[in-house]
Structures are given as structure tokens and as C-alpha cells.
Amino acid sequence: MSDQAGARSQRTQISGAQRVVVKVGSSSLTNGEGLDATRLEQLVEALVVARQRGQDVVLVSSGAVAAGMPALRMRFRPRDLASQQAAASVGQGLLIERYGALFARHGFAVGQVLLTVDDVTRQANYRNALRTFTRLLELGAVPIVNENDTVATHEIRFGDNDRLAALVAHLVGADALILLSDVDALYTAHPSDPSALRIDEVEDVDDLEVDTSRRGASVGTGGMTTKLEAARIAAAGGIPVVLAGAHDLAAALNGEPIGTLFLPTGKKRSRRLMWLAYASQAKGDLVLDAGAVRAVLERKASLLPAGIIAVHGDFHAGEPVRLTDEHGAVIARGIVNYDAEDLPHVIGRSTHELVAERGPEFDREVVHRDALVIKLRKRR
């Protein structure tokens, strides 16, 4: 763990953040009868204070399915996709209406942003989403984000809003991410376990030894595992994360020592590289020999044709691909400079040889180091 001064500095960074993404789950917004008016008001009041002191706020809000269930006389969260989508269709309108009315009391407009996986995995859609967020914030509105459950499928969906919130934080260039939960912090085991210990600060999610096997509230889709993955994604891109109870949002925004603080593990990267690392959908695999693996991991070198031993998938130049070792472990992702059909003719050969035989247009890397992100996690 870092020293106390470092922790205070990170808390101060959150309280002074120009742009904050806040994620709230279904269990923090609803009761047995649907949306909980008191909880919604408390959430909005805390966000309004942040807006009034000049901070940009983006709210990633679950709750559409839970909000729609009472209107459709559903006693329990439906398991089948069609019923979930029906509940989301009804509930999303109820949810955004309530948010709009609460923020309007304080003179703020809200903008609904419903995202699908395609909106963050396809680069053109990603840029379009960024333009929407940018203009909403320029106009002083509060973007309210949710997964577009009414059109998502089991195969193509985020599945929970924790990971979505981390990706949105990178997309909008946030300075902090606050994940609200029905527990007040991260514990070494489920909080109901007498042996569970509270964790105040995390330097690296990969070093944690915690039990996240038990699920939380019945109306939610996520759990502590998804929150840790979200914290890993945000922290890797230089964004500090606070995990706290929904009732502690105001304190978290003020930089008070509540919840669990996840320290950044990396520097802020360009949106393009963060898209490549966490949101892009790889179109194929390039299998590297041992020498190329060392060059990419240790020397941060570009990938040249000579270091590739196999190509899998159907992709075009400019699309994302995985770089793997001979055993199938993914070591990196990158934007490839060749079409898949052209690579078998050049792999295993030196750039000098290719230029001499085929011309100067072959004097290029397969994946340039500036369009490459390391994915292999450190071994324990």
C-alpha cells in the first residue's frame, strides 16, 4: 500500500476532478415496489452539488429492468432475454423521466445515452458516441448512460454496467470514477462473514486476495467481481476509482476517506489505445515466436513479419488483432497494417528481404509499437 500522503493526494484529485463518472446499480435505486424516490433524490442532490461547483458529471445508471418490473406485474427479475427486454423497455422511460424531473428542479437538463457493445467496439461508433458526450457536456447537460437492453442479445452485451462505466470513463476523459454499491467498501470476504476485513486502499487489483464468489442483491446483474474488473480497466488508464455505498456519494465526491480507493496503475492513454485495449473486438490472431514475444514485451518493439509464425482470422489493415505466444496466451492487442490474406506471403521473412524483393511499400511493420497495447498480466 502507498503512504497516507499519497492516498490523501488521490482523494484530493477526486474532489478536484473536472470530469467524474458515477455508476449506480439497480439495488441502490429500487425497493420492493420499484424505484425508490428517496434514494433517487439523494443521488441527484449529490450530483447537483458537484455540477454547481463546476464539475462535469456523467451518470451510468442501471435500474431500467427493475423499474419496469412492477408496471408489468413481475415479482422477480425475469431470466429470459425477451422478458428482460420488455421490462427494460417500460422501465427506461420511467427511469429517465424521474431523473429529468429531479435535475430540472435545479436547472439542469439530462441527456439519455443508450449504448450497445457495438457503440464502443466499432471505432466509427466509438467516435460518434464521443461526439454526443462532448456536446452534451458542452451544453451543460448531465448524460445518463445505460446499456440498451431492449436491443442487446445474450451474445452481444456488456451484461452489467460496471465495465460499461469504466469504458465510458475512458471515452469521456474522466478524471475519476465512482462505483456505487449496496456495500460501503471492498472486503476480503462477503461483508456478512465475521472474518471479513475492510480494504481502504488498493494499489493493484491483480494483487488482491479477496473472495467475491457470493452475489449481492437479486435485482442487479453485477457483483463485486465486475466492480473489480471495472476498477482494473479504469486504473490501468490512469483513472482513480472509489468503490463506496450509494449513501456515501456526496462524501466520495468531496474526497473524504470513505469506501475503497483504487490507485491508478498506469498513465492516461489516448482514447484510441484505451479502445484498443478494452473495448475493441479483435478480428484475428497473430502467433509470435519466442523472440518476437520478448521484443514486444521487453523492448516495447514493433511487430515485424519475421516474428510471426501463424495467422488466424479474417481481417483488413487498420483493424484490431490479438498477438499471442505459441501457447495461445494473449500478450498484446494491436492495429494491423496488413490484410489477413496478404500476411501468409510475408511472415517469417525480414523487412529488408521483402523490400528488396517486392518494393518499398513492404518497408512497414505488421503492428507498429504506437498502435499496440500490452495485455499479458504479471505472473504471481
pLDDT in tens, 23-74: 998 888 887 777 889 999 999 999 999 999 999 999 999 888 888 888 898 8
Q: Which of the listed residues 269, 302, 330 is the one where a domain comes to its end?
A: 269
Average pLDDT of the segment spanning 147-172 = 73
Q: Would residue 81 count as lying in a domain?
A: yes
Q: Which of the listed residues 269, 298, 327 is the one where a domain comes to its end?
A: 269
**β-strand 56-61 against 186-187: which pairing, if any?**
unpaired
User: In terms of domains, do 295 and 229 share one?
Assistant: no
E-state strands within the chain: 19-24, 30-31, 34-35, 56-61, 110-115, 142-147, 176-181, 186-187, 198-199, 201-202, 241-245, 260-262, 284-288, 308-313, 320-324, 330-335, 372-374
Q: Would residue 72 count as lying in a domain?
A: yes
- Which residue type occupies 27? S
Q: CA angle, 65 as apex, 230 and 147 as ends, to 5°?
A: 40
Q: Is the pLDDT of residue 215 over 90?
A: no
Instruction: Round to whole Å and give the CA distance between 213 and 320.
Output: 33
User: In terms of domains, do 83 and 137 share one?
Assistant: yes
User: In terms of domains, do 66 and 104 share one?
Assistant: yes
User: In terms of domains, do 142 and 72 share one?
Assistant: yes
- 186-198: burial string, b at 16+ Cβ within 10 Å, e else: bbeebbeeeebee
And the C-alpha cell for 13? 484529485
Q: Would residue 95 count as lying in a domain?
A: yes
**β-strand 330-335 against 372-374: which pairing, if any?**
antiparallel
Q: Identify whether the C-beta of residue 178 lies closer than 8 Å to the C-beta of residue 241.
A: yes
Q: What is the number of other CB atoms lying within 10 angstroms of the CB of residue 97?
A: 13
**Domain range enclosing 256:** 4-269
C-alpha gyration radius of the chain: 23
Q: Would residue 275 count as lying in a domain?
A: no
Q: Is the pLDDT of residue 334 over 60?
A: yes
Q: Would residue 311 count as lying in a domain?
A: yes
Domain count, the chain: 2
Instruction: Round to whole Å and give the CA distance between 82 and 149.
Output: 10
Specify the CATH number for the domain of residue 237.
3.40.1160.10
User: In terms of domains, do 225 and 135 share one?
Assistant: yes
User: In terms of domains, do 242 and 306 share one?
Assistant: no
- DSSP-derived secondary structure letter, 281: -
Specify the CATH number for the domain of residue 354.
2.30.130.10
Q: What is the pTM of this model?
A: 0.78
Q: Would residue 173 count as lying in a domain?
A: yes
* pLDDT for res 34: 77
User: In terms of domains, do 222 and 298 share one?
Assistant: no
* pLDDT for res 206: 80
Q: Which of the listed residues 269, 292, 323 is the one where a domain comes to its end?
A: 269
Average pLDDT of the segment spanning 305-313 = 95
E-state strands within 36-141: 56-61, 110-115
Q: Would residue 61 count as lying in a domain?
A: yes
User: In terms of domains, do 365 and 317 share one?
Assistant: yes
Name which of 8-17, 45-54, 109-118 the model is least confident about.
Answer: 8-17
User: In terms of domains, do 72 and 205 share one?
Assistant: yes
* pLDDT class of 159 with cuts at 50, 70, 90: low
User: In terms of domains, do 224 and 340 share one?
Assistant: no
Q: Residue 287 forms beta bridges with which residues?
A: 310, 324
User: In terms of domains, do 252 and 287 share one?
Assistant: no
Please, is 250 exposed, middle or buried when counting C-beta atoms within 10 Å of its C-beta (0-12, 13-18, 19+)?
middle
Identify the CA nearest to 56 among candidates 159, 210, 174. Answer: 174
